[in-house]
C-alpha cells in the first residue's frame, strides 16, 4: 500500500496563476491536514501572498493627544458616567471577555534558561555572573533572595514537603536545581507551562489568588446585574480548560457567597481554522521534520471569532494579567464603570441619529449628526463633503455610524512597550487606530519620529458596543483591516521561519469600528509580564 505522501501532488499554481509564483506543491496529505484544521487551500495561498508583499506598515499621521481626541474626564463627569454604567448593569447588558490562553512561560523566562542549563548548576558561578551584571544570573539571584515574597512560595514549600524536602534547608544548602525542578516542571507546580491565568498573583491573610480568581472578584465590583448575575468569558487553550474548570469548581461556592453574586463563567478555544501557515525565508511553505506543513496560532486577533460568537451587548475586553489586589480595586472599578458609561452615552446618541437618518435626510438632522461626528467621534470627512447632495451625506453618515463602537482607556505614556493610539491614513481616509510598534516603518525617519512623539499608551482597557441600533449583534468579521497583519521571525527544528499573525484583536480587527479614547489614571494599569512585577508595591500585600 502506498503512503499518503506518495499520492501525486496537486499544483495550485494552475488554479491561481495570477497570484501564485514559485515551485510549491500541495500533496493530498497537505489538503487533509488543512481540512482537519478547517482551512482551505485558497486561504493558505492568500496567506503566502501576504508574506510576499513588501510590508504591512501603517502610515502614521500624528499621535492622539489630549488636545486631539483623547478625552479627559472631570470628577463630575466620571460620577455621571458611573451612573449610566449602573443603569446598563441593572439592565443585564454587561459582560467581560478575557483572552487567557497564554502560558506563563515568558514570566519565568530567565529562570527557565538557568533550569535548562546542563546538570551541575554552580551557585558560585551564578553569583559571579550576577555581580558582573549578567541579566539572567541577576534574575536568578534576585528570585531566590525574594522567594518568600512571591504568592506561590507557600505552594512551593508544601509540594516540596510532600516529597520530604524542606525549602529552607534546600536554600541553605544552595540546592537551587531541586527547587527549580519543583517550581517549573511537572514534578511540582509546573509553573513553566501553566497558563498565566492559573498562576498565583496576590497574597492575602487567608488565601492566595490566581489571576483567574482576581478577575472574578474584580468583575463582581462592576459587572453585577440587579439579579446578582455576573458574566465572564475566558478564551483558554484546550489542554488547560480542565484546570480552569477544576479551579472554578473549588472556589465558586465560597466566592458567590462572599460577594453575593451568581457567576456565569464560560470558556472557549481559539479556532484551529485561524491558524496560519509558516514559510521559510524564501516564502515557501515551511515543512517540519515529518514533511508536514507547519501551521501556527494566529495571535490574539484570531479571537475575534470568539468575541463574535458571544453575541454580547456591552463587552469589557481585558488582559489576563492587568490586575490589582483588593486594596486598590475600588479605584480600578470606578474607572471601569466610567468607561462603560461613556460607551452607553455615545452609543445612545449614535443610535438615535441612525434611527433618524434611516427615515429622513433633513438639513437640520444631517448638520447635527455631522457636528456630533466631528466633535465627539473625531470622524474624518471626505473633501468637499459640505457640498454633497443631502442624500449622499445621509448615506455616508449611515454607513459610518452603523458600526461597532469601542471606548478605549489610555494611560499617559511612561515608556511601556506595546501599542499606542495614533491617527492613521489608509486609502485617503484618516482614522483613530491602536498601533503596535511592529506596524511602524522605522526606516522612514518621519514615521519613527511620529511614533516617538506618542503621549499615551494602550493598556487594553476597552469596552465594546457590539449591537446595532435595532439591537442586533454586528458581524464583527466585516470590520477588519485584513492588511493589518504581523510578520515575525521564529524557528522550528533549528531552522528559521516566518510566522504570520492575524490583525490584532484591538488593532486591525477593530480598525473599522467607531473609536473613542478616554484618559485613565496610570494607577489602573498594573500588568504582570515577568514574575518580578509581582514584587512591585501595587502587587504586594
**Does 43 lie in the same domain as 65?**
no
Sequence-distant (6+) residues with CB within 8 A of 97 are 233, 235, 306, 307, 310, 312, 315, 316, 317, 318
- From 118, 149, 184, give the residue that closes a domain: 184
Q: Which helix (H) or strand (E) holds 214?
A: helix 211-220
Alpha-carbon distance 341 to 344, whole Å? 5
Sign of CA dihedral 122, 127, 130, 135: positive
Residue 75 CB burial class (10 angstroms; 0-12, 13-18, ≥19) = exposed
Q: Is residue 254 part of a domain?
A: no
Task: Give a yes or no: residue 497 inside a domain.
Answer: yes
Asked whether residue 47 falls in the same domain as residue 142, the answer is: no
Q: How far apart are CA 510 and CA 513, in angstroms?
A: 5
Domain assignment present for residue 281? The answer is no
Instruction: Report the chain's C-alpha Rg in angstroms.
Output: 26
Nearest CA among 25, 26, 27 for reference residue 7: 27
Statement to judge: residues 40 and 158 lie in one domain = no
Please, what is the end-to-end C-alpha distance for the chain in angstroms? 66
Mean pLDDT by 10 residues, the chain (541 residues): 39 43 69 94 92 87 96 97 96 96 88 79 76 83 93 96 95 91 94 94 95 97 91 96 96 96 96 95 92 93 96 96 95 96 98 92 92 95 93 95 97 84 94 94 95 94 97 97 90 91 94 98 93 95 90
Cell triple for residue 254? Answer: 465560597
Residue 329 lies in a domain: no
- Say if residue 69 is in the same domain as residue 127: no
455 falls within a domain = yes
> Residue 330 falls within a domain, yes or no?
no
DSSP state of 333: H
d(CA 294, CA 499): 10
Same domain, 488 and 365: yes
Full domain range(s) for residue 161: 106-184
Residue 256 included in any domain? no
Distance of alpha carbon 155 from alpha carbon 414, whole angstroms: 35
Alpha-carbon distance 195 to 209, whole Å?
14
- Label residue 132 exposed, middle or buried (CB < 10 Å: 0-12, 13-18, 19+): exposed
Are 430 and 527 in the same domain? yes
Q: Report pLDDT for 135.
A: 83
What pLDDT was estimated at residue 361?
A: 78
Chosen domain end from 122, 157, 184: 184
Same domain for 370 and 486: yes
Taking every pair of Cα atoms in the chain, the longest distance, rounded to a whole number of angstroms, is: 83
Residue 376 shares a structural domain with residue 510: yes
Integer Cα distance of 62 and 142 in angstroms: 41
Q: Are residues 370 and 394 in the same domain?
A: yes
* 499 and 401 in a common domain: yes
| 43 and 63 inside one domain | no
Cell triple for 350? 449614535
pTM of the model: 0.91
**Residue 302 placed within a domain:** no
Q: What is the total count of domains within the chain?
A: 3
pLDDT at 120: 58
Pair 20, 64 in one domain: no
Of 151, 184, 217, which residue is a domain's last? 184
Contacts for 113-122: CB closer than 8 Å, 24+ residues apart = 114/140, 114/180, 115/177, 115/180, 115/181, 115/184, 115/185, 115/192, 119/177, 121/176, 121/177
Amino acid at each position: 500500500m502506498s503512503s499518503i505522501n506518495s499520492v501525486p501532488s496537486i499544483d495550485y499554481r494552475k488554479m491561481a496563476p495570477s497570484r501564485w509564483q514559485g515551485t510549491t506543491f500541495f500533496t493530498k496529505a497537505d489538503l487533509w491536514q488543512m481540512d482537519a484544521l478547517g482551512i482551505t487551500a485558497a486561504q493558505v495561498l492568500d496567506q503566502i501572498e501576504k508574506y510576499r508583499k513588501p510590508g504591512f506598515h501603517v502610515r502614521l499621521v500624528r499621535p492622539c493627544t489630549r488636545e486631539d481626541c483623547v478625552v479627559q474626564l472631570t470628577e463630575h463627569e466620571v460620577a455621571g458616567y458611573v451612573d449610566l454604567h449602573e443603569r446598563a448593569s441593572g439592565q443585564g447588558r454587561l459582560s467581560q471577555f478575557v483572552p487567557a490562553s497564554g502560558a506563563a512561560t515568558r514570566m519565568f523566562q530567565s529562570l527557565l534558561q538557568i533550569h535548562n542549563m546542563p546538570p551541575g548548576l554552580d551557585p558560585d558561578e551564578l553569583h559571579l555572573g550576577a555581580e558582573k551584571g549578567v541579566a539572567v544570573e541577576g534574575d536568578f539571584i534576585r528570585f531566590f533572595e525574594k522567594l518568600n515574597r512571591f504568592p506561590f512560595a507557600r505552594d512551593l514549600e508544601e509540594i516540596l514537603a510532600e516529597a520530604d524536602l524542606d525549602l529552607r534547608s534546600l536554600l541553605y544548602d544552595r540546592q537551587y536545581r531541586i527547587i527549580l525542578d519543583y517550581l517549573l516542571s511537572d514534578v511540582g507546580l509546573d509553573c513553566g507551562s501553566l497558563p498565566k491565568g492559573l498562576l498565583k498573583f496576590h497574597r492575602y491573610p487567608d488565601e492566595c489568588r490566581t489571576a483567574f480568581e482576581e478577575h472574578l472578584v474584580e468583575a463582581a465590583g462592576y459587572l453585577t446585574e440587579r439579579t446578582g448575575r455576573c458574566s465572564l468569558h475566558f478564551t483558554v487553550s484546550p489542554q488547560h480548560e480542565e484546570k480552569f474548570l477544576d479551579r472554578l469548581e473549588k472556589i465558586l461556592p465560597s466566592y458567590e457567597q462572599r460577594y453575593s453574586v451568581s457567576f456565569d463563567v464560560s470558556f472557549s478555544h481559539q479556532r484551529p481554522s485561524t491558524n496560519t501557515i509558516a514559510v521559510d525565508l524564501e516564502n515557501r511553505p515551511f515543512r517540519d521534520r515529518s514533511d508536514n506543513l507547519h501551521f501556527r496560532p494566529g495571535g490574539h486577533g484570531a479571537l475575534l471569532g470568539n468575541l463574535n460568537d458571544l453575541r454580547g451587548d456591552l463587552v469589557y475586553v481585558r488582559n489576563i494579567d492587568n490586575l490589582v489586589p483588593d486594596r486598590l480595586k475600588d479605584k480600578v472599578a470606578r474607572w471601569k464603570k466610567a468607561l462603560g458609561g461613556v460607551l452607553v452615552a455615545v452609543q445612545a446618541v449614535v443610535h438615535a441619529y441612525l434611527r433618524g437618518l434611516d427615515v429622513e435626510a433633513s438639513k437640520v438632522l444631517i448638520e447635527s449628526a455631522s457636528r456630533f461626528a466631528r466633535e465627539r467621534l473625531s470622524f474624518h470627512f471626505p473633501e468637499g463633503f459640505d457640498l454633497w447632495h443631502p442624500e449622499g451625506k445621509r448615506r455616508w453618515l449611515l454607513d459610518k455610524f452603523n458600526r461597532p463602537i469601542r471606548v478605549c482607556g489610555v494611560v499617559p505614556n511612561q515608556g511601556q512597550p506595546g501599542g499606542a493610539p495614533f491617527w492613521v491614513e489608509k486609502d485617503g481616509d484618516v482614522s483613530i487606530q491602536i498601533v503596535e510598534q511592529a506596524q511602524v516603518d522605522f526606516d522612514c525617519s518621519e514615521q519613527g519620529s511620529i511614533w516617538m512623539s506618542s503621549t499615551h499608551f494602550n493598556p487594553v482597557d476597552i469596552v465594546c458596543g457590539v449591537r446595532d441600533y435595532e439591537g442586533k449583534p454586528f458581524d464583527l468579521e466585516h470590520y477588519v483591516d485584513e492588511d493589518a497583519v504581523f510578520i515575525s521571525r521564529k524557528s522550528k527544528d533549528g531552522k528559521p521561519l516566518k510566522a504570520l499573525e492575524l490583525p490584532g484583536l484591538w488593532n486591525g480587527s477593530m480598525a473599522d469600528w467607531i473609536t473613542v479614547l478616554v484618559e485613565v489614571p496610570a494607577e489602573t494599569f498594573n500588568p504582570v509580564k515577568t514574575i518580578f512585577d509581582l514584587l512591585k508595591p501595587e502587587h504586594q500585600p
